[in-house]
């Protein structure tokens, strides 16, 4: 049975979370992104050490989808809007939260797990009292864009996103919370 939860240091293993992140992050990258750049991003942002930090940081919320007690996907919310000028322009409603990461193992795509994870993510953001949730999605990632659009997000701008030594082009999508 699939279950989605707000993760804590007591309820999730940062090493297991990092292993899922390392398997799922490359799926969101365009084919032109080198393995070296992907590995650099994973080492810098998705290591067990980083997840341990995210799990204890009150400005972050890590949410997990588990099947039979194993992590099959996760999402991460971050309070606020980053300092990027393009993001500042695209995210007009404040306060806001960023849906920084949302990934599922491939065999769970199309199972409803992403919808359950998104529902918990949006509910968590609403509990924070934010007026909107924003995210960056690679302009070439059509599958993710369709899911986010179905989840109520709208393209409201663009930004660049650093993956290793390569700059990628993202859409900034925003969903207003009611």
When pLDDT is averaged across residues 145-168 and rounded to a whole number, the result is 93
Q: Which domain holds residue 28?
A: 2-176
Q: What is the total count of domains within the chain?
A: 1
pLDDT tens-digit profile of 55-105? 999 999 999 999 999 999 999 999 999 999 999 999 999 999 999 999 999
Instruction: Give the C-alpha separation, 18 to 74, whole Å.
Output: 10
Structure pTM?
0.94
Site of tokens 């695209």:
90
Instruction: Give the C-alpha separation, 20 to 8, whole Å.
Output: 16
**Residue 17, class by beta-carbon neighbours within 10 Å (0-12 exposed, 13-18 middle, 19+ buried)?**
buried
Instruction: Give the C-alpha separation, 137 to 146, whole Å.
Output: 11
Among the listed residues 132, 137, 64, the one whose alpha carbon sits nearest the alpha carbon of residue 93 = 132
Site of tokens 């099947």:
67
User: What pLDDT, on the 0 to 100 scale, is given for residue 52?
Assistant: 96
Decide: 62 and 55 in contact? Cβ < 8 Å: yes
Q: Is the dihedral of CA 86, 90, 96, 98 positive or negative?
A: negative
Decide: 133 and 99 in contact? Cβ < 8 Å: yes
Domain of 34, CATH number, reads: 3.40.630.30
**Angle, alpha carbons 99-51-65 (nearest 5°):** 60
pLDDT tens-digit profile of 110-132? 999 999 999 999 999 999 999 99
């Amino acid at each position: 049975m699939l279950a989605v939860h707000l993760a804590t240091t007591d309820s999730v293993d940062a090493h297991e979370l990092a292993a899922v992140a390392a398997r799922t992050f490359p799926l969101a990258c365009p084919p032109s992104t080198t393995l070296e750049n992907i590995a650099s991003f994973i080492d810098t942002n998705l290591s067990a050490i980083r997840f341990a930090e995210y799990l204890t940081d009150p400005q972050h919320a890590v949410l997990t989808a588990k099947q039979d007690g194993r992590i099959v996907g996760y999402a991460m919310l971050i309070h606020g809007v980053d300092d990027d000028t393009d993001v500042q322009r695209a995210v007009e409603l404040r306060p806001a939260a960023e849906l920084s990461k949302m990934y599922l193992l491939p065999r769970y795509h199309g199972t409803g797990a992403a919808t359950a994870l998104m529902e918990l993510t949006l509910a968590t953001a609403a509990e924070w009292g934010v007026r909107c949730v924003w995210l960056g999605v690679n302009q070439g990632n059509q599958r993710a864009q369709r899911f986010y659009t179905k989840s109520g997000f709208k393209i409201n701008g663009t930004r660049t996103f650093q993956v290793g030594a390569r700059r990628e082009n993202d859409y900034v999508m925003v969903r207003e919370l009611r």
